[in-house]
Amino acid sequence: MLRLSSYSILSERLPGGGYALLNGCTGAVDTISDALAAILQEALSRNDCNPHPQHPSAQRYKHDVWVQTERIPEAVLDHLLDQGHLTRVGHEVERAHVARVAELLHEVAEITPHFLIVPNLDCNYRCTYCFERPMQIKLKSPAAEISYARGNVVMRPEHVDAVFRAIEQVRAATKTRAIWKDLAAVGRLDPDGVMGTLITLYGGEPLDKMNKETVFRIVEEGVARGFDFAAITNGHDLEHFLPVLGEGRVSQIQISIDGPRRLHDKSRIARNRESSFDKIVQNVNLVLAQGGVEVQLRCHIDPKNNDAFGELMAEFGAQGWLDHPSVVIYATNYHVKDKDGHVTQGIDYEDVLRLWNAATARHANVHVSGVAVHADRALGPVLKSGGPARLKGTYCGANAGLYIFAADGHVYSCWESVGKECSRIGHFTTEAGLVLDERMTEKWFKRSVAKIPECLDCCYALVCGGGCAQYAEYNHGTLDKPYCDQFEVVFPSALANTVAESRREGADPAPGGGVGDASPSIVAQPVLAT
């Protein structure tokens, strides 16, 4: 017998038969037959290892799963060994390797910083669930740290130079890191080609028409310096920003939708009380007609609107957004805080998958979650070209080099806590440029799965990256704990949907009836998450 890798992940069953098998340690991806999947599932059912007390899922923690190999053809067995799905080494050896890979991936992530600019900490919406509302409620109070009286709510055009000076300081310091020499020696990366070339506009509401002059200046200055732009916006005032939307300018926008009009307007409330749903629809269509912009529609799901899914899809269909090449549609869970400040999910993701999986099968641009979008973009090229799968040692840039320049003059690392001291890593001024807090920078930028024992024992370690650090701190009082967010529920489905879509495009031939049938057409090798 051989041991099933502690890091191999079996997808949900694929339409038409077979399963995808991803190794979260080597990055290898294969399709396997129902017969081989049955052998692996039988081995999992005999799993004798003690599950982690917080995560009893057998799929998540499976350190001593021994596979009976007598029914597996020798050629398939050799292939599974080569890919790392089966192994002769123990869990501790694999675990140590994952820790080393996580450290390297984290180091690479640190030299590819990302930047957000927050031109406005206020918003023209009053969404019922917004995590920034406690700060925004105080903006008119002269005693508040961030307030209109202090003049630090809205960024002025003259502050733009200070932001770009700070960004260039980050880029210059990053280029001096020793790892660039190691990567250049093996032809991996060119610092000028990959480092910090995207700026995301964030808020509050960045694309409020009141911010127009500042936003135009930010985009014009950034484009002149070689940056690309994205924006996370409520979409209400997009018609005022059409001149800076398009390829080579703001080429990606994310807009939240909370169900069909009758439900959306109750939770995403425009301050002037007009229908926020109607405004979003009108403006998305203006943007799509102009072209050059990817529109991501982030659909917040909770128990109140999940069953209105059919209405929402019908509206998207009526607007021509389903299967539109410039539209990405995905579900996302609400996150709510309890009385103790702990974050919980607003809905069990099993209920989301029940409805969204069917739409995902019908429409190429509909995804069950943000995780599914990331899986599609990380694994899609692998399935089409046989290239390397992307692994990661951190959940997001907040733990490796995300610099958020806010209108209050502070720099934050996490967009879940802009305006809060807990993720404040420094400040910037026109005179002094960027001044970082060494203790806070170390706290935020050094988190990786290599430092989280629960993650190192989890098969999703280098696929998930440990989950949201800010939510982990809210729930556990430290960043160095996982925040799993039902990842083990979402990812097997997302993996299956990505492979199924690749099959529909002809990249992955459906598996035959053999026991193994591991398809070499989508075999991947390990890769740095660059």
Q: pLDDT digits over 238-281, tens only?
A: 999 999 999 999 999 999 999 999 999 999 999 888 999 999 99
Instruction: Specify whether the backbone of 515 is left (phi greater than 0), alpha (psi in -120 to 50) or beta.
Output: alpha
Q: Which pLDDT value is given to residue 527?
A: 24
Structure tokens of 187?
Answer: 């032809």
Per DSSP, helices labelled H in 257-328 are 261-267, 276-290, 309-318
Q: Which pLDDT value is given to residue 266?
A: 94
Full strand arrangement of the beta sheet holding 433-436: 366-367, 327-333, 294-301, 250-257, 228-232, 198-203, 114-120, 402-406, 410-412, 424-429, 433-436
Q: Which pLDDT value is given to residue 388?
A: 62
Average pLDDT of the segment spanning 501-528: 44
CA distances for 377 relative to 90, 145, 254, 494, 507, angstroms: 32, 40, 16, 11, 15
Q: Which pLDDT value is given to residue 191?
A: 53
Residue 201 and residue 231 in contact, taking contact as beta carbons nearer than 8 Å: yes
The 8-class DSSP code of residue 525 comes to: -
Q: pLDDT digits over 459-503, tens only?
A: 999 999 999 999 999 999 999 999 998 898 889 999 998 888 888
The 8-class DSSP code of residue 306 comes to: G
Residue 195 CA to residue 144 CA, distance in Å, equals: 37
Structure tokens of 468?
Answer: 């949201």
Instruction: State the number of CA atoms in the 13 A half-sphere of 321 facing the CB.
Output: 25
**How far is residue 178 CA from its own chain's centroid?**
28
289 burial type by CB count under 10 A (0-12 exposed, 13-18 middle, 19+ buried): exposed
**Band (518; pLDDT cuts 50, 70, 90):** very low
Q: pLDDT digits over 214-228, tens only?
A: 999 999 999 999 999
Q: Which residues of 247-258 are buried (b: 16+ CB within 10 A; e: fewer)?
A: eebbbbbbbbbb
Q: Which pLDDT value is given to residue 119?
A: 97
Residue 455 and residue 469 in contact, taking contact as beta carbons nearer than 8 Å: no
Residue 333 and residue 129 in contact, taking contact as beta carbons nearer than 8 Å: no
Q: Which pLDDT value is given to residue 185?
A: 54
Comparing 173-187, 288-302, 431-445, 452-466, the range with the smallest average pLDDT is: 173-187
- Amino acid present at 228: D
The domain spans of the chain are 2-104+450-522, 113-368
Q: Which pLDDT value is given to residue 181?
A: 63
Average pLDDT of the segment spanning 164-170: 94
Q: If you average pLDDT over every residue of the chain, what do you get? A: 87
* CATH class of the domain at 113-368: alpha beta
Specify the pairing of strand 402-406 against strand 114-120.
parallel
